[in-house]
Protein backbone atom coordinates (compact mmCIF):
# COMPACT_ATOMS: atom_id res chain seq x y z
CA UNK A 1 0.00 0.00 0.00
CA UNK A 2 1.23 3.40 -0.94
CA UNK A 3 0.92 5.99 1.79
CA UNK A 4 0.13 9.61 1.20
CA UNK A 5 2.98 12.03 1.85
CA UNK A 6 1.52 13.34 5.10
CA UNK A 7 1.03 9.82 6.48
CA UNK A 8 4.61 8.89 5.60
CA UNK A 9 5.93 12.09 7.15
CA UNK A 10 3.93 11.47 10.33
CA UNK A 11 5.74 8.15 10.61
CA UNK A 12 9.12 9.79 10.03
CA UNK A 13 8.36 12.40 12.66
CA UNK A 14 7.31 9.75 15.18
CA UNK A 15 10.71 8.19 14.62
CA UNK A 16 12.56 11.41 15.35
CA UNK A 17 13.36 12.26 11.73
CA UNK A 18 13.14 15.88 10.73
CA UNK A 19 10.25 16.91 8.47
CA UNK A 20 8.87 20.42 7.82
CA UNK A 21 6.18 21.74 10.17
CA UNK A 22 2.83 21.22 8.53
CA UNK A 23 -0.96 21.49 8.67
CA UNK A 24 -3.54 19.42 6.81
CA UNK A 25 -6.10 21.08 4.58
CA UNK A 26 -9.38 19.40 3.70
CA UNK A 27 -12.17 20.89 1.62
CA UNK A 28 -14.19 21.93 4.64
CA UNK A 29 -11.32 22.81 6.96
CA UNK A 30 -8.74 25.40 6.01
CA UNK A 31 -6.55 26.27 8.99
CA UNK A 32 -4.82 29.59 9.59
CA UNK A 33 -1.49 29.30 7.85
CA UNK A 34 1.80 30.94 8.72
CA UNK A 35 3.20 32.31 5.48
CA UNK A 36 5.17 31.56 3.44
CA UNK A 37 3.97 28.00 2.89
CA UNK A 38 4.26 25.26 0.33
CA UNK A 39 0.87 23.71 -0.43
CA UNK A 40 1.05 20.19 -1.76
CA UNK A 41 -1.51 17.87 -3.32
CA UNK A 42 -1.87 14.61 -1.34
CA UNK A 43 -2.21 11.99 -4.04
CA UNK A 44 -0.60 8.54 -4.05
CA UNK A 45 1.58 9.27 -7.10
CA UNK A 46 4.73 11.27 -7.80
CA UNK A 47 5.35 14.06 -10.26
CA UNK A 48 3.16 16.53 -8.39
CA UNK A 49 5.68 19.33 -8.74
CA UNK A 50 5.67 19.09 -12.53
CA UNK A 51 1.87 18.74 -12.69
CA UNK A 52 1.22 21.94 -10.72
CA UNK A 53 0.35 20.13 -7.49
CA UNK A 54 2.98 21.96 -5.41
CA UNK A 55 2.54 25.72 -5.00
CA UNK A 56 4.56 28.15 -2.91
CA UNK A 57 2.35 30.84 -1.37
CA UNK A 58 3.87 33.97 0.10
CA UNK A 59 0.89 36.34 0.32
CA UNK A 60 -2.33 35.93 2.28
CA UNK A 61 -4.41 36.98 -0.72
CA UNK A 62 -3.15 34.00 -2.70
CA UNK A 63 -3.90 31.24 -0.20
CA UNK A 64 -7.50 30.56 -1.22
CA UNK A 65 -6.83 30.52 -4.95
CA UNK A 66 -3.83 28.19 -4.57
CA UNK A 67 -5.93 25.77 -2.53
CA UNK A 68 -8.81 25.83 -5.02
CA UNK A 69 -6.38 25.31 -7.87
CA UNK A 70 -4.64 22.28 -6.35
CA UNK A 71 -7.92 20.60 -5.40
CA UNK A 72 -8.94 20.85 -9.07
CA UNK A 73 -5.79 19.40 -10.65
CA UNK A 74 -5.92 15.63 -11.18
CA UNK A 75 -2.46 14.08 -11.07
CA UNK A 76 -2.21 10.87 -13.09
CA UNK A 77 -5.99 10.48 -12.62
CA UNK A 78 -5.93 11.14 -8.87
CA UNK A 79 -7.81 14.12 -7.46
CA UNK A 80 -6.69 15.06 -3.95
CA UNK A 81 -9.11 15.13 -1.04
CA UNK A 82 -6.42 16.47 1.29
CA UNK A 83 -3.62 18.99 0.89
CA UNK A 84 -0.53 19.47 3.01
CA UNK A 85 0.57 23.00 3.91
CA UNK A 86 4.20 23.06 4.97
CA UNK A 87 6.57 25.72 6.22
CA UNK A 88 8.69 26.90 3.30
CA UNK A 89 12.21 25.58 3.66
CA UNK A 90 15.01 27.49 1.99
CA UNK A 91 16.92 24.99 -0.06
CA UNK A 92 20.69 24.97 -0.48
CA UNK A 93 20.72 21.60 -2.20
CA UNK A 94 18.26 18.81 -3.02
CA UNK A 95 19.61 15.30 -2.35
CA UNK A 96 18.11 11.90 -3.13
CA UNK A 97 17.95 9.09 -0.58
CA UNK A 98 15.89 5.91 -0.63
CA UNK A 99 15.69 2.64 1.27
CA UNK A 100 14.38 -0.37 -0.55
CA UNK A 101 14.56 -4.13 -0.38
CA UNK A 102 17.39 -5.99 -2.02
CA UNK A 103 15.72 -9.37 -2.48
CA UNK A 104 18.83 -11.26 -3.51
CA UNK A 105 20.81 -10.06 -0.47
CA UNK A 106 17.70 -10.31 1.75
CA UNK A 107 18.63 -6.96 3.13
CA UNK A 108 17.70 -3.33 3.01
CA UNK A 109 19.54 -1.32 0.41
CA UNK A 110 20.30 2.38 0.27
CA UNK A 111 20.03 4.20 -3.01
CA UNK A 112 21.44 7.71 -3.08
CA UNK A 113 22.39 10.55 -5.38
CA UNK A 114 23.74 14.00 -4.60
CA UNK A 115 21.28 15.58 -7.06
CA UNK A 116 17.66 15.01 -6.11
CA UNK A 117 14.47 16.91 -6.83
CA UNK A 118 11.93 16.75 -9.59
CA UNK A 119 14.50 16.01 -12.29
CA UNK A 120 15.98 13.00 -10.49
CA UNK A 121 15.10 10.70 -13.39
CA UNK A 122 17.60 12.58 -15.54
CA UNK A 123 20.47 11.26 -13.42
CA UNK A 124 22.37 8.40 -14.98
CA UNK A 125 21.41 5.12 -13.31
CA UNK A 126 25.00 4.04 -12.79
CA UNK A 127 25.73 7.25 -10.89
CA UNK A 128 23.52 6.24 -7.98
CA UNK A 129 25.22 4.87 -4.92
CA UNK A 130 23.74 1.48 -4.02
CA UNK A 131 24.85 -0.11 -0.77
CA UNK A 132 23.51 -2.65 1.67
CA UNK A 133 22.21 -1.17 4.88
CA UNK A 134 22.53 -3.97 7.39
CA UNK A 135 23.11 -3.27 11.07
CA UNK A 136 26.78 -4.16 10.61
CA UNK A 137 27.34 -2.17 7.45
CA UNK A 138 25.60 0.95 8.73
CA UNK A 139 28.77 2.85 9.74
CA UNK A 140 30.47 2.10 6.41
CA UNK A 141 27.33 3.08 4.56
CA UNK A 142 27.22 6.37 6.49
CA UNK A 143 30.82 7.13 5.51
CA UNK A 144 30.10 6.61 1.82
CA UNK A 145 26.97 8.72 2.00
CA UNK A 146 28.81 11.44 3.91
CA UNK A 147 31.33 11.58 1.11
CA UNK A 148 28.64 11.58 -1.58
CA UNK A 149 26.57 14.32 0.06
CA UNK A 150 29.53 16.28 1.46
CA UNK A 151 27.92 16.10 4.88
CA UNK A 152 28.80 15.22 8.46
CA UNK A 153 29.19 11.44 8.71
CA UNK A 154 27.91 11.02 12.25
CA UNK A 155 24.74 13.01 11.46
CA UNK A 156 24.18 10.77 8.44
CA UNK A 157 24.77 7.70 10.54
CA UNK A 158 22.08 8.85 12.99
CA UNK A 159 19.69 9.55 10.12
CA UNK A 160 20.33 6.14 8.54
CA UNK A 161 19.81 4.39 11.85
CA UNK A 162 16.45 6.09 12.32
CA UNK A 163 15.42 5.44 8.73
CA UNK A 164 16.33 1.79 8.99
CA UNK A 165 14.35 1.46 12.20
CA UNK A 166 11.38 3.19 10.58
CA UNK A 167 11.60 0.95 7.52
CA UNK A 168 11.62 -2.25 9.58
CA UNK A 169 8.98 -1.27 12.13
CA UNK A 170 6.59 -0.06 9.41
CA UNK A 171 7.03 -3.20 7.27
CA UNK A 172 7.98 -0.89 4.43
CA UNK A 173 9.07 -2.08 1.01
CA UNK A 174 10.11 1.41 -0.09
CA UNK A 175 10.97 4.62 1.71
CA UNK A 176 12.09 7.34 -0.67
CA UNK A 177 13.03 10.85 0.34
CA UNK A 178 13.23 13.14 -2.65
CA UNK A 179 14.25 15.79 -2.04
CA UNK A 180 16.23 15.32 1.13
CA UNK A 181 16.74 19.03 1.63
CA UNK A 182 20.05 20.49 2.73
CA UNK A 183 18.89 23.79 4.20
CA UNK A 184 20.72 27.13 4.23
CA UNK A 185 21.66 26.37 7.86
CA UNK A 186 23.14 23.05 6.79
CA UNK A 187 20.41 20.91 8.32
CA UNK A 188 18.90 17.86 6.64
CA UNK A 189 15.09 17.92 6.32
CA UNK A 190 12.88 15.44 4.48
CA UNK A 191 11.19 17.53 1.81
CA UNK A 192 9.06 14.73 0.41
CA UNK A 193 8.47 11.13 1.38
CA UNK A 194 7.10 8.26 -0.61
CA UNK A 195 6.46 5.13 1.39
CA UNK A 196 5.10 1.73 0.42
CA UNK A 197 3.96 -0.73 3.06
CA UNK A 198 3.94 -4.47 2.44
CA UNK A 199 0.26 -5.37 1.90
CA UNK A 200 0.80 -8.73 3.58
CA UNK A 201 1.80 -6.91 6.79
CA UNK A 202 -1.08 -4.42 6.84
CA UNK A 203 -2.85 -6.35 9.57
CA UNK A 204 -0.05 -5.15 11.85
CA UNK A 205 -0.83 -1.52 10.99
CA UNK A 206 -4.57 -1.03 11.39
CA UNK A 207 -3.99 2.71 11.94
CA UNK A 208 -2.83 3.01 8.33
CA UNK A 209 -5.51 0.91 6.69
CA UNK A 210 -8.24 3.22 7.98
CA UNK A 211 -6.95 6.29 6.22
CA UNK A 212 -6.21 5.27 2.68
CA UNK A 213 -8.64 4.01 0.16
CA UNK A 214 -7.67 0.59 -1.16
CA UNK A 215 -6.63 0.27 -4.76
CA UNK A 216 -9.62 -0.06 -6.99
CA UNK A 217 -9.38 -0.89 -10.60
CA UNK A 218 -11.77 0.82 -12.96
CA UNK A 219 -11.66 0.19 -16.71
CA UNK A 220 -14.01 1.88 -19.10
CA UNK A 221 -15.08 -0.69 -21.70
CA UNK A 222 -17.76 0.58 -23.99
CA UNK A 223 -19.09 4.10 -24.60
CA UNK A 224 -22.43 2.60 -25.56
CA UNK A 225 -22.50 0.21 -22.61
CA UNK A 226 -25.86 -0.08 -20.86
CA UNK A 227 -24.90 -2.09 -17.79
CA UNK A 228 -22.29 -0.91 -15.30
CA UNK A 229 -20.66 -3.44 -13.00
CA UNK A 230 -19.23 -3.28 -9.49
CA UNK A 231 -17.53 -6.37 -8.08
CA UNK A 232 -14.72 -7.23 -5.73
CA UNK A 233 -11.68 -9.18 -6.82
CA UNK A 234 -10.39 -9.12 -10.38
CA UNK A 235 -11.68 -12.62 -11.13
CA UNK A 236 -15.21 -11.97 -9.95
CA UNK A 237 -15.23 -8.56 -11.68
CA UNK A 238 -14.22 -10.19 -14.96
CA UNK A 239 -16.78 -12.97 -14.57
CA UNK A 240 -19.45 -10.33 -13.90
CA UNK A 241 -18.57 -8.44 -17.08
CA UNK A 242 -18.67 -11.72 -19.05
CA UNK A 243 -22.03 -12.69 -17.55
CA UNK A 244 -23.51 -9.33 -18.56
CA UNK A 245 -22.33 -9.89 -22.14
CA UNK A 246 -23.58 -13.50 -22.11
CA UNK A 247 -27.04 -12.18 -21.28
CA UNK A 248 -27.00 -10.06 -24.42
CA UNK A 249 -26.21 -6.72 -22.75
CA UNK A 250 -23.27 -4.35 -23.22
CA UNK A 251 -21.06 -3.95 -20.15
CA UNK A 252 -19.95 -0.34 -19.72
CA UNK A 253 -17.03 -1.00 -17.44
CA UNK A 254 -14.91 -3.38 -15.42
CA UNK A 255 -14.55 -2.49 -11.78
CA UNK A 256 -12.74 -4.38 -9.06
CA UNK A 257 -13.26 -2.38 -5.87
CA UNK A 258 -10.46 -4.34 -4.20
CA UNK A 259 -10.25 -6.05 -0.83
CA UNK A 260 -11.29 -3.95 2.15
CA UNK A 261 -13.30 -1.45 0.11
CA UNK A 262 -14.63 1.39 2.23
CA UNK A 263 -17.77 3.47 1.93
CA UNK A 264 -15.63 6.22 0.38
CA UNK A 265 -14.08 4.01 -2.28
CA UNK A 266 -17.44 2.54 -3.30
CA UNK A 267 -18.97 6.00 -3.48
CA UNK A 268 -16.13 7.02 -5.75
CA UNK A 269 -17.00 4.08 -8.01
CA UNK A 270 -20.61 5.25 -8.26
CA UNK A 271 -19.51 8.76 -9.14
CA UNK A 272 -17.46 7.37 -12.03
CA UNK A 273 -20.33 5.22 -13.25
CA UNK A 274 -22.85 8.07 -13.42
CA UNK A 275 -20.53 9.76 -15.90
CA UNK A 276 -21.58 7.14 -18.49
CA UNK A 277 -24.64 8.52 -20.29
CA UNK A 278 -25.94 5.20 -21.64
CA UNK A 279 -25.98 3.17 -18.43
CA UNK A 280 -29.47 2.00 -17.52
CA UNK A 281 -28.63 -0.55 -14.84
CA UNK A 282 -25.87 -1.20 -12.31
CA UNK A 283 -25.09 -4.78 -11.35
CA UNK A 284 -23.32 -5.12 -8.00
CA UNK A 285 -21.75 -8.50 -7.36
CA UNK A 286 -19.91 -8.82 -4.06
CA UNK A 287 -18.41 -11.92 -2.54
CA UNK A 288 -17.15 -10.48 0.72
CA UNK A 289 -14.11 -11.81 2.55
CA UNK A 290 -11.96 -8.92 3.74
CA UNK A 291 -14.52 -6.64 2.16
CA UNK A 292 -17.57 -6.21 4.40
CA UNK A 293 -21.06 -6.31 2.95
CA UNK A 294 -22.30 -3.69 5.42
CA UNK A 295 -19.65 -1.20 4.23
CA UNK A 296 -20.86 -1.74 0.68
CA UNK A 297 -24.47 -1.38 1.82
CA UNK A 298 -23.70 1.95 3.51
CA UNK A 299 -22.09 3.21 0.33
CA UNK A 300 -25.07 2.10 -1.74
CA UNK A 301 -27.46 3.92 0.60
CA UNK A 302 -25.34 7.07 0.53
CA UNK A 303 -25.01 6.93 -3.23
CA UNK A 304 -28.78 6.56 -3.63
CA UNK A 305 -29.34 9.63 -1.45
CA UNK A 306 -26.58 11.74 -2.97
CA UNK A 307 -27.01 10.85 -6.64
CA UNK A 308 -30.62 11.17 -7.76
CA UNK A 309 -29.67 10.26 -11.33
CA UNK A 310 -28.35 6.85 -10.28
CA UNK A 311 -29.78 4.08 -12.53
CA UNK A 312 -31.56 1.07 -10.94
CA UNK A 313 -29.33 -1.21 -8.88
CA UNK A 314 -29.30 -5.00 -9.02
CA UNK A 315 -27.46 -6.23 -6.00
CA UNK A 316 -26.15 -9.63 -5.05
CA UNK A 317 -24.17 -9.84 -1.81
CA UNK A 318 -22.60 -12.81 -0.06
CA UNK A 319 -20.06 -13.29 2.71
CA UNK A 320 -18.84 -11.18 5.62
CA UNK A 321 -21.62 -9.21 7.39
CA UNK A 322 -24.19 -10.21 4.80
CA UNK A 323 -27.11 -10.10 7.31
CA UNK A 324 -26.22 -6.60 8.54
CA UNK A 325 -26.05 -5.41 4.95
CA UNK A 326 -29.42 -6.82 3.98
CA UNK A 327 -30.98 -5.27 7.11
CA UNK A 328 -29.49 -1.86 6.29
CA UNK A 329 -30.56 -1.99 2.66
CA UNK A 330 -34.08 -3.20 3.35
CA UNK A 331 -34.53 -0.42 5.93
CA UNK A 332 -33.94 1.90 2.98
CA UNK A 333 -36.18 -0.12 0.69
CA UNK A 334 -33.31 -1.27 -1.46
CA UNK A 335 -33.82 -4.91 -2.45
CA UNK A 336 -31.09 -7.51 -2.89
CA UNK A 337 -31.24 -10.58 -5.11
CA UNK A 338 -29.96 -14.01 -4.27
CA UNK A 339 -27.84 -14.68 -7.34
CA UNK A 340 -26.00 -12.91 -10.13
CA UNK A 341 -28.29 -14.68 -12.57
CA UNK A 342 -31.33 -13.04 -10.95
CA UNK A 343 -29.62 -9.65 -11.16
CA UNK A 344 -28.91 -10.07 -14.85
CA UNK A 345 -32.42 -11.23 -15.72
CA UNK A 346 -33.91 -8.27 -13.84
CA UNK A 347 -31.44 -5.84 -15.44
CA UNK A 348 -32.37 -7.16 -18.88
CA UNK A 349 -36.02 -6.43 -18.21
CA UNK A 350 -35.17 -2.82 -17.36
CA UNK A 351 -33.02 -2.37 -20.45
CA UNK A 352 -35.68 -3.76 -22.76
CA UNK A 353 -38.22 -1.20 -21.55
P1 LIG B 1 6.89 15.59 -6.26
O2 LIG B 1 7.06 16.43 -7.48
O3 LIG B 1 5.59 14.84 -6.28
O4 LIG B 1 8.05 14.68 -6.00
O5 LIG B 1 6.76 16.63 -5.02
P6 LIG B 1 7.87 17.19 -4.00
O7 LIG B 1 7.26 17.22 -2.65
O8 LIG B 1 9.16 16.48 -4.12
O9 LIG B 1 8.03 18.70 -4.45
C10 LIG B 1 8.56 19.05 -5.72
C11 LIG B 1 9.56 20.17 -5.62
O12 LIG B 1 8.97 21.30 -4.98
C13 LIG B 1 10.78 19.86 -4.75
O14 LIG B 1 11.75 19.13 -5.45
C15 LIG B 1 11.25 21.25 -4.39
O16 LIG B 1 12.06 21.79 -5.41
C17 LIG B 1 9.96 22.04 -4.30
N18 LIG B 1 9.63 22.17 -2.87
C19 LIG B 1 8.90 21.35 -2.10
N20 LIG B 1 8.87 21.79 -0.82
C21 LIG B 1 9.64 22.90 -0.79
C22 LIG B 1 10.04 23.83 0.23
O23 LIG B 1 9.68 23.74 1.40
N24 LIG B 1 10.85 24.87 -0.15
C25 LIG B 1 11.24 25.05 -1.44
N26 LIG B 1 12.03 26.07 -1.73
N27 LIG B 1 10.90 24.20 -2.41
C28 LIG B 1 10.11 23.16 -2.10
MN1 LIG C 1 9.40 14.40 -4.55
Question: Would you say the CB of residue 89 lies under 6 angstroms from ligand 1?
Answer: yes
Residue ranges in the chain modelled with pLDDT below 70: 209-216
* pLDDT reported for residue 335: 96
Inter-residue contact 288 to 318 (CB < 8 Å):
yes
> Catalytic residue among 96, 151, 268, 295, which?
96
**109 CA distance to ligand 1 middle (Å):** 24
* pLDDT reported for residue 15: 97
Inter-residue contact 23 to 31 (CB < 8 Å):
yes
Of ligand 1's listed atoms, the one at least distance from the Cα of 87 is 23
* pLDDT reported for residue 5: 97
User: Which residue's alpha carbon is nearest to atom 15 within ligand 1?
Assistant: 117
> Catalytic residue among 5, 86, 94, 176, which?
176
Question: Would you say the CB of residue 36 lies under 6 angstroms from ligand 1?
Answer: no
For 240, the 3-state DSSP assignment is helix
Question: Would you say the CB of residue 176 lies under 6 angstroms from ligand 1?
Answer: no
For 199-242, write each residue's pLDDT tens digit: 889 889 877 765 455 556 888 898 899 999 999 989 999 999 99
Half-sphere exposure for 30 (CA within 13 Å, toward CB): 10
107-113 and 91-102: which strand pairing?
A: antiparallel
* Pocket test residue of 54, 57, 66 for ligand 1, highest count of atoms within 8 A of CB: 54
d(CA 135, CA 210): 32
Q: Residue 310 has what DSSP assignment?
A: P
The backbone torsions φ and ψ at residue 200, rounded to the nearest 5 degrees and listed phi first, read -70, -15
What average pLDDT is seen over the chain? 93
**317 CA distance to ligand 2 middle (Å):** 41
- H or E element, residue 289: none
Q: Is the peptide bond before 179 cis (omega within 30 degrees of 0)?
A: yes
User: Which residue's alpha carbon is nearest to atom 16 within ligand 1?
Assistant: 117
Question: Would you say the CB of residue 94 lies under 6 angstroms from ligand 1?
Answer: yes
Longest dimension (CA), the chain: 75
* pLDDT reported for residue 41: 97
* pLDDT reported for residue 285: 97
> Would residue 176 show up in a list of annotated catalytic residues for this protein?
yes
For 137, the 3-state DSSP assignment is coil
**84 CA distance to ligand 2 middle (Å):** 13
pTM of the model: 0.67
Residue 210 neighbours by CB under 8 Å, 6+ apart: none
* pLDDT reported for residue 77: 83
Question: Would you say the CB of residue 44 lies under 6 angstroms from ligand 1?
Answer: no
> Would residue 96 show up in a list of annotated catalytic residues for this protein?
yes
Instruction: Say which ligand is closest to the CA of 51.
Output: 1
Of ligand 1's listed atoms, the one at least distance from the Cα of 88 is 23
User: Which residue's alpha carbon is nearest to atom 13 within ligand 1?
Assistant: 117
* pLDDT reported for residue 307: 84
327: left (phi over 0), alpha (psi -120 to 50) or beta: alpha
* pLDDT reported for residue 209: 61
Amino acid sequence: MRLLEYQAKDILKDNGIRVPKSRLITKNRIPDLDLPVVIKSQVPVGGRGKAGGVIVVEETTRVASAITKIFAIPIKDHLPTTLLAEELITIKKELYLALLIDRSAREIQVLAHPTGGIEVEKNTTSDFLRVTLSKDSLPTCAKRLGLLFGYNVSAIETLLRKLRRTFVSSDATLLEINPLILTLDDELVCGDCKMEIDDAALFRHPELADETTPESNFVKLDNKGTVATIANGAGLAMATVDAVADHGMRPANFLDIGGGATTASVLEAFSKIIEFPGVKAIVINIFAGITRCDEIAKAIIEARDAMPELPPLFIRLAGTNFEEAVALLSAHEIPTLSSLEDCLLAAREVIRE
